[in-house]
């Protein structure tokens, strides 16, 4: 590449022109930081401004400037699309993330959002590579469904514009592809789906969106132990690949936003996941001698303050908690022999929180029916699901990983709205 003639089409990020020589930073989406073009000022076309699209023809040479390896010595510059400066919202200064969130169509032109987008793309591809390596089939589960998998009622309805429901049937945007994935796991063996998911929860947190992407894996003949193995090795694989291949983007984001990012990723890659049962977790919390706002008691939901204590103070490691109280969890989770707990698991990361939730599914017809009745669920709405337990039922398990949460961990972006191109959340009106 060095000393060869190249042509690059890109957008101008900044220009410094001393009347004799001009330094133009350009970005075509592929550089972690802009590429410097050096040109004679007389070569600059009129209207060559910040934001304009240009084609530069020239030679790549070793750069004498500090902080960059190469620069482009321009011979010709053509203006492809100009960019009037009066109303262009992106100035050379660093804009706040709050301001950039108000212009999602333009924020992608900043170094931060380009790096996030490249990491997001890399992670999506790495996830597919992982499942291919593990011989999982990629399946597509429906977006329009009639069931509330999680039973929480946080559903968006689907209506015809004229006000009628979906051809007369109450229908919703999917909250999880799990039930559909189970049908395929019980025929194809090992499957995963990676699609959009919608939750009408009015949570204005840094970690919840109304529309997010979820990776859901489901496999037959897999128990909770195998599920923990699968999900932790997937996290390790994708973060390791990212660390190897995208270190420049990670460095850039740590410089711009999260100084501790590299250390946090390295910590995840070098520390084993601690596995504890819910009951052990409660015991550890009880003996912690801490003033928790919610004092730990068997049966309660483990709160963020408890997760933080376990991961960041007690174990100083990512923690997998399994075997949760039955009363807290969804009807489809497998009831353990003690009758009090179900084979559910969550993966909690230090300085982050829950990233994965999963469970072994109840494969016994009678027990499933019983759990449905206990939770007031009408079995007639789940006939196909119950059929799976009548015809060749076997143990099986699956997990859900929120893709944006993974991207948050990998980029260090604190607000989940900054790791999805067009965030949908309460108060954010779609354009
Ligand atoms: P949380 O406790 O954080 O609300 P959850 O237990 O309700 O999550 P699950 O039903 O277990 O979520 O969903 C599986 C995974 O999907 C979660 O572990 C998380 O990574 C992700 N997830 C859940 N809800 C959201 C959301 N509103 N926005 C983004 N990701 C989400
Ligand atoms: Mg939730
Ligand atoms: Mg949860
Ligand atoms: Mg969960």
Q: Indicate if ligand 1 lies below 6 Å from the C-beta of 402.
A: yes
The predicted-structure confidence for 174-216, as pLDDT tens digits, reads as follows 999 999 999 999 999 999 999 999 999 888 899 999 999 999 9
Confidence of residue 127 (pLDDT cuts 50, 70, 90): very high
**How high is the pLDDT of residue 430?**
64
Which listed ligand is nearest to 148 at the C-alpha? 1
Q: Distance between terminal CA atoms of the chain?
A: 42
Under 8 Å between Cβ of 148 and 385: no
Q: Indicate if ligand 1 lies below 6 Å from the C-beta of 185.
A: no
Overall average pLDDT of the 241-269 stretch: 97
Ligand 2 centre distance from Cα of residue 354 (Å): 10
Position with higher pLDDT, 253 vs 69 = 253
Containing 261, the helix (H) or strand (E) segment is helix 261-270
Distance CA 192, CA 133 (A): 13
Among the atoms of ligand 1, which is closest to the Cα of residue 356? 18
Q: Indicate if ligand 1 lies below 6 Å from the C-beta of 307.
A: no
What domains appear along the chain, each with residue ranges and CATH number? 5-88 (2.40.50.140), 105-418 (3.30.930.10)
Overall average pLDDT of the 80-106 stretch: 92
Total Cβ atoms within 10 A of residue 315: 18
Distance CA 324, CA 346 (A): 9
Q: Is the pLDDT of residue 117 over 90?
A: yes
The predicted-structure confidence for 18-74, as pLDDT tens digits, reads as follows 999 999 999 999 988 899 999 999 999 998 999 999 999 999 999 887 777 899 999
Best residue among 214, 344, 420 to mutate for probing ligand 1, ranked by most atoms within 8 Å of CB: 214
Overall average pLDDT of the 278-294 stretch: 96
Ligand 3 centre distance from Cα of residue 87 (Å): 44
**How high is the pLDDT of residue 417?**
96
**How high is the pLDDT of residue 150?**
66
The predicted-structure confidence for 301-327, as pLDDT tens digits, reads as follows 999 999 999 999 999 999 999 999 999
Ligand 2 centre distance from Cα of residue 174 (Å): 14
Distance CA 172, CA 352 (A): 30
Q: Indicate if ligand 1 lies below 6 Å from the C-beta of 219.
A: no
ipTM for the complex shown: 0.99
């Amino acid at each position: 590449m060095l000393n060869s003639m190249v042509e690059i089409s890109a957008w101008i990020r900044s220009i410094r022109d001393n009347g004799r020589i001009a330094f133009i930073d350009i970005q075509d989406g592929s550089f972690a930081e802009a590429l410097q073009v050096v040109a004679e000022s007389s070569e600059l076309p009129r209207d060559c401004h910040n934001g304009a699209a240009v084609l530069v023809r020239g030679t790549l040479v070793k750069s004498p400037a500090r902080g960059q390896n190469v620069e482009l010595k321009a011979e010709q510059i053509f203006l492809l699309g100009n960019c009037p400066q009066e109303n262009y919202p992106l100035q050379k200064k660093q804009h706040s993330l709050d301001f950039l969130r108000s212009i999602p169509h333009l924020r992608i032109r900043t170094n931060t959002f380009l790096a996030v987008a490249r990491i997001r793309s890399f992670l999506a591809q790495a996830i597919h590579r992982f499942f291919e390596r593990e011989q999982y089939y990629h399946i597509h589960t429906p977006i329009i469904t009639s069931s509330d998998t999680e039973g929480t009622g946080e559903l968006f309805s689907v209506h015809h514009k004229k006000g009628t429901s979906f051809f007369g049937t109450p229908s919703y945007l999917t909250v999880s592809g799990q039930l559909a994935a189970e049908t395929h796991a019980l025929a194809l063996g090992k499957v995963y789906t990676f699609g959009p998911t919608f939750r009408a929860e009015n949570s204005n947190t840094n970690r919840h969106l109304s529309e997010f992407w979820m990776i859901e894996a489901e496999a037959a003949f897999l128990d909770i132990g195998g599920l923990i193995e699968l999900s932790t090795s997937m996290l390790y694989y994708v973060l390791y690949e990212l660390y190897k291949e995208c270190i420049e983007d990670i460095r850039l984001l740590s410089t711009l936003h999260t100084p501790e990012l590299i250390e946090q990723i390295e910590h995840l890659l070098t520390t084993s996941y601690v596995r504890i049962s819910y009951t052990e977790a409660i015991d550890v919390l009880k003996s912690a001698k801490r003033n928790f706002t919610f004092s730990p008691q068997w049966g309660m939901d483990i709160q963020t303050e408890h997760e933080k204590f376990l991961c960041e103070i007690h174990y100083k490691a990512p923690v997998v908690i399994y075997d949760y109280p039955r009363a807290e969890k969804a009807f489809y989770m497998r009831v353990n022999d003690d009758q009090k707990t179900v084979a559910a698991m969550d993966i909690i990361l230090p300085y982050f929180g829950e990233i994965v939730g999963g469970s072994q599914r109840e494969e016994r017809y009678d027990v499933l029916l019983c759990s449905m009745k206990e939770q007031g669920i009408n079995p007639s709405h789940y006939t196909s699901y119950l059929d799976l337990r009548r015809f060749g039922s076997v143990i099986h398990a699956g997990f859900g990983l929120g893709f944006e949460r993974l991207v948050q961990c990998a980029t260090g972006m604190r607000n989940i709205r900054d790791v999805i191109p067009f965030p949908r959340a309460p108060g954010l009106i779609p354009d």
